[in-house]
A and B are shown apart, each in its own frame.
Chain A
Amino acid sequence: MSPAARALGLPALALVLVAVVLGVQLAQDGGDFEPARTADPCAPREVTSQSDGIEGLTERLVLLGIDGAACRLDVSREELTLEIGQGAEPTDAEVDALREGLHAAVQRLDDDGDLPPISDLTDEALDNADLNRFLEAAIRALPDRVVDGALKTDDVLDRAIDDLDLRRLLNDLDDADELNQQVAASVEQAVKDALLDRLRNLI
């Protein structure tokens, strides 16, 4: 074996082996095996819910609302969720951003035609509302088209969002039952109040 082959043979073989191994790994996206990056909260995102009715609508509103709030606060949705989920006292900016985000979420669902007619929510709201039996029967007797003509879902939801005690809600995040109760109660109350207003006007 020549001196050149003895001096260069093994290093050349080593270089080829290293190039092949690293080449195959890079071709298979080696180096990109990292935690998923968070999405831009300002970019439109499709949200879905496994639940129906008021609970499903609430979940979609909250998901879009957190996106909107995160966009306003210039943080990621996940960062904001972790921040408020870890028990820290929410700041005024966070509460305001969340409320604005929820209003924007209502607008977005309305623009997309994804808000259900209010008549889809009234039965559920009335089931959980502690109303006079005669009044409840009167509201239930109203035809859906009358209810839908009289009330707009986005108005009702905006009213519910304004009525929500967001600071208390964020402090109760650890208690799922309390959280659901507060959100559902607020939406139901808004539906009920709007219906009663309209009924009074009709009478």
Chain B
Amino acid sequence: MRRAVAPLLAVTVALVLADSAVVTLALPDILLHLDATVTEVAWVLIAYNLVLGVVAVPTAMGLVKVPPRLFSAVGIAAFAGASAWCAFADSIEVLIIARCLQALGGAFALVGCLELLVAAYGERRGVSTWVMAGVVGTAAGPFAGGLLTDLISWQAIFVVQVPFAVLAVPAALAIWTARPLAGDRHRPDLRANLTLALLSAALTAALFLLVLLLVEGWRHSPATAAITVSVVPAAALLANPLARLLRPTHAAEVGAGCLLVAGGLVGLAIPPSSDLAWTIAPQALVGLGLGLTVDQLTYRAMELRLPRAKHAAWTIGSRHLGIVAGLLVLTPVFTADLLDAQEPAQEAITALVIDAPLPADDKIALARSLGQELQGERGRVPDLSPAFDRVEVAPEDRPALGDLEAALDEQLERAATRAFRDSFLIGAGIALLALLTVLVPRRRQDRRPA
């Protein structure tokens, strides 16, 4: 049991950070199940990241007054309780409130677990485990959430977290460690935290928008989308061996990571088709970039700085406020682009229906059916198959009707891809901004904390 204590705490850290993006693939299901709007459902993501980002540093300041084991146990219990509440939420408002409480508990759990992992493993290994658990959680969140949504339901995402968290409460109480010393010994590393915030904003495009494109734009199931986006965490795991091989300097590693994230996002902006294969290489670039940067920047922001928990909290605040900034910048852009894409998509669909090799009566019936289907959508990419199901044609015309349905679906995929392009490119631009923070030379006195 003793051996399981620290791994359980690491899993808790991964869960809390995975929750930042874990519901991304479940958003369409939540939207339908709770009868929410697109903006409301976006707040399921934004609220969690906003609360986690805002409360992380104040929470860490409270750690000097309460023993870390109690601090962590209370946080993990609150996180577990709020997760259960999320699963049983019967309205979008309740879900958003539960997500806020989940983030609050998560913030206590994160800073407390850092102290406990250091107590269990020692400074270097403890910090390293905490950082890596966070990277894996962040990268794997959409993958795990998509699989659970498709195989069970969106509520399952929250239910499965409860037993892990419940087990982690006694694990936290089992580690005795002293309270960290009060007082700010070192200033936060502004550059590392700023780079983290910018990269997190850029990664939002990959972790949030890509899954939306796959599920909403290209109409793949959450499970298919989850398997597809698993390329990001897989590539992130390859980053460390690559870095060990080339032994780059800190700036080179972070700079290369920013470049890879930017390049990957440009790649996602310009796929030659909606074939999932075209997302693999760009995602691999993003994953490699994520693996090279997030842990390096987190280490750099915490390295030799005390109090440890407070500087860790600065990294959490930077990352999650970066994600919020990314969502707030990118969501209006892609929703506006999605609306703008309607007109060319409708015109392309109209052209194909007019020119279809079908009898005129069938074309008119289909046009009417398509019109009904398009009116039923709420700013989402429509599913045209019900419109085709309602139209009855002669047996000899069925192949032509099938070809037409495939052609119309492709036009919708083209329109959705075009609608997401600007957001991916903005994400790439933000990643290049992060690169700029690396390229600006450091002042001599900034190189190490005093």
**Which residues of A are at the interface with B, using a C-beta cutoff of 8 A?**
1, 3, 5-11, 13-15, 17-18, 21-22, 24-26, 28-39, 48-51, 55, 58-59, 63, 66, 76-79, 81-82, 85-86, 173-174, 176, 179-180
Contact between chains at B414 and A7 (CB < 8 Å): no
Q: Mark B164-208, 1 if CB is under 8 A from A, else 0.
A: 000000000000000000000000000000000000000000000
Contact between chains at A78 and B267 (CB < 8 Å): no
Contacts A6-B252, A10-B248, A85-B367 given; does A28 touch B348 at CB 8 Å = no
Contact between chains at B278 and A25 (CB < 8 Å): yes
Closest-by-CB residue of A relative to B368 is: A174
Contacts of A66 in B (CB 8 A): 354
* Docked pose: A176 CA to B352 CA in angstroms: 19
**9-residue interface stretch from B22-30, B253-261, B300-308:** B253-261
Contacts A25-B272, A25-B278 given; does A79 touch B259 at CB 8 Å = no
**9-residue interface stretch from B7-15, B357-365, B442-450:** B357-365
Give A51 Cβ to nearest chain B Cβ, in Å: 6
Q: Mark B242-266, 1 if CB is under 8 A from A, else 0.
A: 1100111101110111011011101
Q: Does B76 contact A (CB under 8 A)?
A: no
Contact between chains at B347 and A78 (CB < 8 Å): yes
Closest-by-CB residue of A relative to B397 is: A50
Q: Does B335 contact A (CB under 8 A)?
A: no
Q: Does B274 contact A (CB under 8 A)?
A: yes
16 pairs from A and B in contact (CB 8 Å cutoff): A10-B256, A11-B248, A11-B255, A14-B257, A21-B267, A22-B270, A30-B270, A30-B271, A33-B272, A34-B415, A34-B418, A35-B418, A38-B351, A50-B359, A81-B354, A85-B367
CB-based A-B contact count at 8 angstroms: 156
Give B276 Cβ to nearest chain A Cβ, in Å: 14
Q: Does B281 contact A (CB under 8 A)?
A: yes
Contact between chains at B350 and A78 (CB < 8 Å): yes
Give B440 Cβ to nearest chain A Cβ, in Å: 16
Contact between chains at B270 and A25 (CB < 8 Å): yes
Contact between chains at B256 and A13 (CB < 8 Å): yes
Contacts of B348 in A (CB 8 A): 35-36, 38, 78
Contacts A14-B263, A76-B347 given; does A33 touch B418 at CB 8 Å = yes
Give A9 Cβ to nearest chain B Cβ, in Å: 5
Contact between chains at B347 and A38 (CB < 8 Å): yes
**9-residue interface stretch from B62-70, B93-101, B115-123, B338-346:** B338-346
Contact between chains at A18 and B285 (CB < 8 Å): yes
Contact between chains at A176 and B346 (CB < 8 Å): no
For the complex, would chain A's binding face be called helix, strand, loop or mixed by DSSP majority? helix
Contacts A7-B249, A18-B260, A35-B347 given; does A29 touch B285 at CB 8 Å = no
Contact between chains at B263 and A17 (CB < 8 Å): yes
Contacts of B413 in A (CB 8 A): 33
Contact between chains at B351 and A39 (CB < 8 Å): yes
Q: Does B411 contact A (CB under 8 A)?
A: yes
- Which listed residue, B252, B282, B354, B359, touches A21 by the CB 8 Å rule? B282
Q: Does B332 contact A (CB under 8 A)?
A: no
Contacts of A82 in B (CB 8 A): 346-347, 350
* Docked pose: A55 CA to B414 CA in angstroms: 34
Contacts of A55 in B (CB 8 A): 360
Contact between chains at A36 and B357 (CB < 8 Å): no
Q: Does B37 contact A (CB under 8 A)?
A: no
Q: Does B417 contact A (CB under 8 A)?
A: yes
Q: Does B58 contact A (CB under 8 A)?
A: no
Contacts of B243 in A (CB 8 A): 10
Closest-by-CB residue of A relative to B258 is: A14
Please give me the 5 A-B residue pairs with the lowest Cβ-Cβ distance, nearest first.
Answer: A18-B263, A78-B347, A28-B272, A30-B270, A14-B256
* Docked pose: A66 CA to B256 CA in angstroms: 56
Q: Does B371 contact A (CB under 8 A)?
A: yes
Q: Mark B219-248, 1 if CB is under 8 A from A, else 0.
A: 000000000000000000000001100111
- Which listed residue, A9, A13, A22, touches B266 by the CB 8 Å rule? A22
Contacts of B397 in A (CB 8 A): 50
Contact between chains at A9 and B246 (CB < 8 Å): yes
Contact between chains at A33 and B274 (CB < 8 Å): yes
- Which listed residue, A6, A10, A25, A49, touches B267 by the CB 8 Å rule? A25
Q: Does B385 contact A (CB under 8 A)?
A: no
Closest-by-CB residue of B relative to A14 is: B256
Contacts A15-B259, A50-B359, A51-B359 given; does A77 touch B351 at CB 8 Å = yes
Contacts A10-B253, A14-B256, A63-B354 given; does A176 touch B361 at CB 8 Å = yes
Q: Does B273 contact A (CB under 8 A)?
A: yes
Contacts A15-B259, A18-B263, A33-B274 given; does A81 touch B350 at CB 8 Å = yes
Contact between chains at B341 and A35 (CB < 8 Å): yes
Give B364 Cβ to nearest chain A Cβ, in Å: 4
Contact between chains at B251 and A7 (CB < 8 Å): yes
Contacts A33-B274, A76-B347 given; does A11 touch B252 at CB 8 Å = yes
Contact between chains at A18 and B259 (CB < 8 Å): yes
Give B125 Cβ to nearest chain A Cβ, in Å: 25
Give A79 Cβ to nearest chain B Cβ, in Å: 6
Contact between chains at A33 and B246 (CB < 8 Å): no
Closest-by-CB residue of B relative to A45 is: B355
Contact between chains at B263 and A21 (CB < 8 Å): yes
Contact between chains at A25 and B271 (CB < 8 Å): yes
Contacts A21-B267, A22-B263 given; does A33 touch B357 at CB 8 Å = no
* Docked pose: A51 CA to B350 CA in angstroms: 20
Contact between chains at A33 and B344 (CB < 8 Å): no
Closest-by-CB residue of B relative to A30 is: B270
Contact between chains at A17 and B351 (CB < 8 Å): no
* Docked pose: A39 CA to B351 CA in angstroms: 9
